[in-house]
Amino acid sequence: MQRIALRYLGLACALSALPLRICATQNEDATASRAPRFLLAMAERSTPVPVDLKRSAVLRRPLSIAFDGAPIKQALAEISRQAGLSLVYADDVLPVEMTVSLRADRITVAAALTDVLLDAGVDVVFTSDGRATLVKRPPGPAVQLGSIAGTVTGGETGTPLVRAVVSVVGTSLTAETDASGRYVIGSVPVGTQRLRARMLGYAPVDTSVVVAEGQESVMNFQLKAQAIELQAVVAVGYGEKRRENLTGAVGSVSSEALEARPITNTMAALQGAMPGLIVQRYSGQPGVEGFNLNLRGVSSVPQDKDKLFDANGGNSPLVLIDGIPGSLDLLNPADIQSIDVLKDAAASIYGARAADGALLVTTKRGTRTAPVFTYSVNSAVTKLTGMMETPNNYQMAVMDNEANIHAGAAPMYTPDLLNRVRAGDPNPIPHPLYAGLGWMLFFTNTDWRKAVFENGFEQKHTLSVSGGGQNSSYYVSAAYADQNGVIRYGNDNNRRYQLRLNYDYDFSRRIRLESRLAVENQDRSDMGGVKSDGVIVETIFGMPNHPIYTENGQHFFAQGGWRNAVAYAKDAATDAFATRGVNTNFKLIVEPLDGLKLNVQSGVNYRSNDNTDIGKSDPLYRWDDSSIVYYSIATPDQNWVDRYTSTTLHRNYVGYAEFSRTFADRHALQLMGGVSHEDDDVDWFQAGRANFSNQDVWGLNLGSTG
């Protein structure tokens, strides 16, 4: 069907010398029953009322159109686009074979719709929200509109699904479910409509519903959970890419890989999780594991020749947390959404500091749903492993005899003495060689490792809540971790307290603010003056023929220059190491044009350390408690206190623009340019005093400098 605009017919009438007024009258009479009516549906009226075309800004808006045999749906889409009008209709409302031929400049929306919809047998009905619906013209004045309502629930549990989308197929009529899973779609053309309900993580469901005039049709949905495969998106330098579009060596670690391990440190979670990423730890002590990361192999000479992968040698990759340089040591693993590792030239955009690769950490974001609370608890038992075997007293005596024989001397342990050692005789004798020095020869055996070591225990509790609304989302988490070391009696523990708030807000479709706030505290303790590693070394090399206590059990025993590991653990003062951190991160994203994004980001990280090391003097006694043989850790005139405090303030400012465009659905163009600025303020103070007369109070002003 071909049609020419009526204004050209009017021009033909004028050229044939007929009066213009008569021609217009003939046109009005001829088209009165063929043109669409513009009506307004009102809640307080049972029937719609005509729209005043002179007062409708939308219908008076000028357009420029050129249709040459275009399908009617294509013509309506172009008119809707230029007018900014939401126009909906069912597939069976318009004749599919109908075409339009119309060229006009500055034609009004009302005139264009009148020309295009002439003889279509439809009316244009506006609702209070500004939406226009094409409905078949009824025989009377009533408008054929109805509504659809119902609920969407999970098929297995019957739980209401929030923010599920229900739409009328073939139209732009959609609605989202509320907190109770209910939806309502108004202004639906009458007749049989195809209805579809869908939600991420569930299989979509289609069904048919009959919409009656002026009535609400009820249709409830039950959706079944369905595993879906999302497009893999990984973080790259100042942006994201789909994995199939990557050309560099980029690896990823998901949150599932981190949460599946009972650990309190993010670096410990990375061990074995990423091919090519070497994670080394030089200690098992809580809080000072000495983790080092290596991504590209040895690239410079380390400060310690025995630690080829030590970060101090310049081989550690750059770590960025939500785009801001940071550290993984105090970051809560439960707050991490993903870690993307840039192994090759992809990291070069960050400059020389990323010469050994980059780790891009993305923390979790909120979901725009009702609040969801999550609580998790992890616990673990730690044990010392890889310890070398140490000889017992009898083995030590045999080796002592063999050493004397090889040196050309007589064996010290006679057969009788060896039998007493084997039997564990509790009665010592003066030492055959060093009795003059007050030494004793003991026949009992001391298992120093059993006396000093025990199993450690660690636990971690995390509570988080995630939710949001139409324009915002939030993620709040709190975590507490407690690690107890493996040294019995000693205070070698580590406690961490972590808080995080991630809040995103959309001011509009083109303006978005992302904010991050994290508070990280760590309180660690150790054995003053000797540290945990000193206790471990003394335990391993402790003499198996030396008892722990003196004869009456009141004091710690020692002789021959050997120390006492249990005395270290029990009597050493407690060192305290407090670390406090506050990290802020704000990012504003503006999209002035489709495909063009402007990003402005500011991050400020604050960290403070307050450390106290105490070297306490503790006496060790002879077997008979007759005198002090020497002191553990320090002599009374050399006991000490060292205090160290520091603060670091790191500021980072980044601004960059991104432009992306896809041509012919096959060729993608991406451009990025920007500028960044960073600076640090570091302040530290260290002081020490010695010769404290009172070992119960360790104030710096109570000691001396000499």
Residue 304 burial class via C-beta count within 10 angstroms: exposed 0-12, middle 13-18, buried 19 and up: exposed
pLDDT (tens digit, 9 = 90+) per residue, 499-527? 999 999 999 888 999 999 999 999 999 99
The Cα-based distances of 206 to 191, 196, 223 in angstroms read 16, 4, 10
Q: State phi, psi for 607 to the nearest 5 degrees.
A: -140, 140
Q: How far is residue 471's CA from residue 185's CA, in Å, rounded to a whole number?
A: 21
Q: How far is residue 481's CA from residue 265's CA, in Å, rounded to a whole number?
A: 10
Average pLDDT over residues 597-621: 94
pLDDT of residue 239: 58
CB burial of 143-177 (b: ≥16 within 10 Å; e: otherwise) equals bbbbbbbbbbbbeeeeebbbbbbbbbeebebebeb
Helix or strand (DSSP H, E) at 188: strand 182-189
C-alpha closest to that of 327 among 657, 642, 609, 586:
609
Domain residue ranges of the chain, discontinuous segments joined by +: 31-136, 145-223, 233-363, 393-444, 480-702
Residue 108 half-sphere exposure, CB side, CA atoms within 13 Å?
12
Q: How far is residue 350's CA from residue 354's CA, in Å, rounded to a whole number?
A: 6
Q: How far is residue 334's CA from residue 259's CA, in Å, rounded to a whole number?
A: 6
Q: How far is residue 499's CA from residue 486's CA, in Å, rounded to a whole number?
A: 28
- CATH class of the domain defined by 31-136: alpha beta
Residue 217 above 60 pLDDT?
A: yes
Taking the CB of residue 618, how many other CB atoms lie within 10 A of it? 21
pTM of the predicted protein model: 0.63
pLDDT (tens digit, 9 = 90+) per residue, 335-376? 888 888 887 666 777 777 777 788 888 899 888 888 999 998
CATH superfamily of 145-223: Carboxypeptidase-like, regulatory domain (2.60.40.1120)
C-alpha closest to that of 615 among 645, 577, 556, 571:
571
pLDDT (tens digit, 9 = 90+) per residue, 421-441? 999 999 999 999 899 899 999
**Could you tell me if 143 and 132 are in contact, meaning their C-beta atoms sit under 8 angstroms apart?**
no
Q: State phi, psi for 439 to the nearest 5 degrees.
A: -75, 155
Residue 301 above 50 pLDDT?
A: no
Residue 35 above 70 pLDDT?
A: yes
C-alpha closest to that of 583 among 645, 650, 646, 523:
650
Please, which pLDDT band fits residue 141 given cuts at 50, 70 and 90? very low
Residue 240 above 90 pLDDT?
A: no
Contacts of 67 (CB under 8 A, 6+ apart): 74, 75, 78, 100, 101, 102, 103, 116
Fold of 233-363: Ferric Hydroxamate Uptake Protein; Chain A, domain 1 (2.170.130)
Distance from the Cα of residue 590 to its chain's centroid:
23
Q: How far is residue 493's CA from residue 484's CA, in Å, rounded to a whole number?
A: 5
CB burial of 30-44 (b: ≥16 within 10 Å; e: otherwise) equals eeeeebbbbbbbeee
